[in-house]
Chain A
Amino acid sequence: MTESTKKPPIQSEPAVPAGRGGPAALVLLLRRHRWSAEVVVTLAAAALLVAYGSGPSFRQDYVVLICTYGLLALGMYVPYIMSGSLSLAYNAYLGIGAYACALISTKAGWSSLWGVPIGMVLSAAIAVLLGLATRKLTGFYLAGVTLLFGVAFQVFLLDRVSITGGAMGMTVARPELFGQSIKRYQIMVVGVVLVWVVGILLARLRQSPYGVVVRLRKDVPQVVEASGISAGNTGIVSLAIGAAIGSLGGSLFGMMGGVAQPESFGLHIIFLAIFMPLLGGQRSPWGAVLGALIVVVFTFELDLVEDTGTLIFAIAILLVLRLAPEGLLGLVGKGWQRFCRRLGVSGHDDRGVR
């Protein structure tokens, strides 16, 4: 049994211990309104990010990169963290999102916004196909076949110059809505809002009956099957959701940069996609977003080249796996529990599945 599946001993709703007002009462209040607190805190973080991006132009690219990686990491969250299906084709899903916007705007002359749903559906369809092919096999085979797909996709981008523009890539026209072209600043705001909405939705999904089934599927598939729910199908649906979210991130990235290039969708994306949710913490989708934020900040502040960056990230991921499998949010959570225990109240919300 992993740590996350252990349940705390069931307690009755504790009153504030006598003689301890202030902090303990606050903890209980926070616990009761945990959900509202989550919304408020993340909304504040999103607002901060938008405020930061309102400065010079380069900051907007920076924020959009955080949002792109955030969506990539959130795309990993449902299939990989919740459902336990490791798909490694995320460079392709991201690329499909960006190239769908590019193709629809340059070849068909439509607004590149149409590329968003097309990319999402296409990515989800590919994820379903790959999932179905390896449905009865262990996770290693899914990882292998999706890795092969990612490699083939990269070759396809470079090789089919007539479709993808080869190594130069292709331009993504500035998206238009009702005849109005959308400004870079607006794209950034939309990006932040997207990450926030997807994050909130996934946090809700995690607690929903579907989310519980998906998470149960990871640890005890027999129980899911015994309840009359197909563990295999649940996993495949989760793969489709993840691929669609990843593609959304790719579209955002393409529209902001105005270009879709093969080098943006290399195999290092796969690596980041696995790494970010683990670094941030698995207990909440916000862990994935936090991981993305940290990765982007580190890549820029330390001026890491792609190559040495991967070396450092590879070492970091092994360290996180070995020493802090719960990730950063996990560490924060442990600290919170300790703080609560000192106040004499349980930090857990004991009602229902966490």
Chain B
Amino acid sequence: MPLQLWISVVELSCFAGLIALGFFLVLRGADLFMFALGPLAMFGAMFGAYMVSRNGWPVALAVVVGVVIASGLSVASELLVVRPIHRRTGGEENPSIVAIVAVLFLLEQLAGTLFGRRPLPGSALWRDSFTVGGAVISGQAILLVAVCLLAFGGVAWWLRGSATGRMLRAVGDNERAAAILGIPVAKVRMVAFAMAGALAGIAGALFATKGGVTFTSGLQWTLVGFLAVIVGGLGSVWAPLVGAVIVALLQTWTVYKFGQAMEDYVTFAVAFLFFALRPKGIFQTKVRI
């Protein structure tokens, strides 16, 4: 593979890793797969791109507001949709999945209606680019890698070191027991959704410069992140990143070798194989009794 593609792999890994980290947080904190994270990333990115190209906002402002919106929408979907339905059905699974899938489609169509159905170009925060060994590295790519590592390090520390982080793990393990212990379950869940939404927003804003963003990007992004979690597992905070690297490598290599259409088949095949053979991913949570 040419060097330039390796750089693509790194970018895609960091992007998928950030989305997957969002999934990880909601999975640990609320025991839910927040499928709507991809569309949240898309929504934030489209908002930013739209404001920069139509209203001439400074890029930094557009990115920050986009991230805040993504985080806010994530919290709103928890407060208005997921949580009430979760409570009414006594934690039954299907209504929550249906609600999240409905939010996913809602965000997609809302973005299409508000920001148009044509692809928008993402605007770079850092416009410089560097040539190393014949390959071009954009400043944006460096930013993405830095933010990704920072986010993973930060979340790893936060889950172990802070009180809220530890409560998050407790709530995800057993919500009822956590509530009995007096942990503010609703608040902790909200924090998980807010952080996941913000991570998705950042990922979307930084990655949109690579190939632009359309209202349908969201579902693709969700699936990439989903796959990273499946492959990586939930055993450690860094597991989603490892999964993301493997998925990014595999996808880039398939497209390079066999063309665009193979990407979706391979994506499906990888998910299927992992489900069948190693359903909890590479890194699994070990419980010692």
Residue numbers of A with Cβ under 8 A of B are: 1-2, 80, 84, 86, 88, 130, 132-134, 136-141, 143-145, 147-149, 151-152, 155-156, 158-159, 218-219, 267, 271, 274, 278, 307-308, 310-311, 313-315, 317-318, 321-322, 325
Q: Which residues of A contact B32 (CB under 8 A)?
A: 140
User: A133: which of B93, B102, B272 is its contact (CB, 8 Å)?
Assistant: B272
Least Cβ–Cβ distance between A302 and chain B, in angstroms: 16
Q: Does B103 lie at the interface of the complex (its beta carbon under 8 Å from any beta carbon of A)?
A: yes
Query: Is the Cβ of B265 less than 8 Å from the Cβ of A274?
Result: no
State the CA gap A86–B88 with chains docked (Å): 19
B contact patch SS: helix
Query: What CA separation (Å) do A337 and B71 show in the bound complex?
Result: 44
Beyond the given A141-B230, A267-B219, A325-B88, could you list 20 further A-B residue pairs with CB under 8 A, ordered by the A residue number? A1-B90, A2-B92, A86-B97, A132-B276, A137-B275, A138-B93, A141-B33, A144-B33, A145-B271, A145-B275, A148-B268, A152-B264, A152-B267, A155-B264, A155-B265, A158-B261, A274-B101, A307-B117, A310-B109, A321-B81
Residues of B111-149 at the interface with A, using a CB-CB cut-off of 8 Å, are 112-113, 117
A321/B106 contact (C-beta < 8 A), A148-B268, A152-B267, A156-B265 known: no
The answer to whether B105 and A271 have CB atoms under 8 Å apart is yes
Please tell me which one of the listed residues B35, B85, B268 contacts residue A321 in the complex, with CB atoms under 8 A apart: B85
Tell me how far the C-beta of B85 lies from the nearest C-beta in chain A, rounded to whole angstroms.
Answer: 6
State whether B99 touches A139 (Cβ < 8 A). Answer: no
B109–A307 touching, CB < 8 Å: yes
Shortest C-beta distance, B12 to chain A (Å), equals 17
24 contacts between A and B (CB under 8 A): A2-B89, A2-B92, A84-B93, A86-B97, A133-B272, A136-B279, A137-B279, A140-B93, A143-B33, A144-B223, A144-B271, A148-B223, A148-B227, A148-B267, A151-B223, A152-B267, A307-B109, A307-B113, A310-B105, A314-B103, A318-B81, A318-B99, A321-B102, A322-B85
A321 to B98, Cβ gap below 8 A? yes
Chain B, Cβ-Cβ closest to A137: B279
Report the Cα distance A1→B89, complex, angstroms: 7
A158 to B81, CA, bound (A): 35
> Which residue from A88, A130, A151, A159 sits with its C-beta under 8 Å from B101?
A88
The verdict on A144 contacting B89 (CB below 8 Å), with A310-B105, A311-B113, A314-B106 known, is: no
Residues in A neighbouring B272, C-beta threshold 8 A: 130, 133, 145
- Would you call the interface of chain A mostly helix, strand, loop, or mixed? helix
- Please report which residues of chain B, range 251-273, place their CB below 8 angstroms from some CB of chain A when the two chains form the complex: 261, 264-265, 267-268, 271-272
Name the distance in Å between A5's Cβ and chain B's nearest Cβ: 10
Question: Are B113 and A308 interface neighbours, CB within 8 A?
Answer: yes
**Nearest 7 A-B pairs (CB), nearest first?**
A311-B109, A140-B33, A314-B106, A159-B261, A133-B275, A152-B268, A155-B264
The answer to whether A144 touches B35, judged by C-beta atoms less than 8 angstroms apart, is: yes
Of chain B, the residue at the smallest CB distance from A315 is B106
Q: Contacts A278-B98, A318-B103: A307 and B35 contacting too (C-beta < 8 A)?
A: no
Contact indicator B112/A307 (Cβ below 8 Å) = yes
Which residue of the partner chain, among B90, B102, B279, contacts A317 with CB atoms under 8 Å? B102
B279 A134 Cβ-Cβ under 8 A: yes
Are A134 and B275 within 8 A (Cβ)?
yes
CB distance from A277 to the nearest CB of B (A): 10
Given the complex, which residues of A lie within 8 Å of B153, measured CB to CB?
none
Residues from chain B with Cβ under 8 Å of A278 in the complex: 98
Q: In whole angstroms, how far apart are the Cα atoms of A141 and B280 in the complex?
A: 11
Give the residues in chain B near A321, CB-CB below 8 Å: 81, 85, 95, 98-99, 102
Determine if B15 is an interface residue (Cβ-Cβ < 8 Å): no
- Assembly CA distance A308 to B110 (angstroms): 9
Inter-chain CA distance A267–B95, complex, in Å, is: 20
CB distance from A86 to the nearest CB of B (A): 5
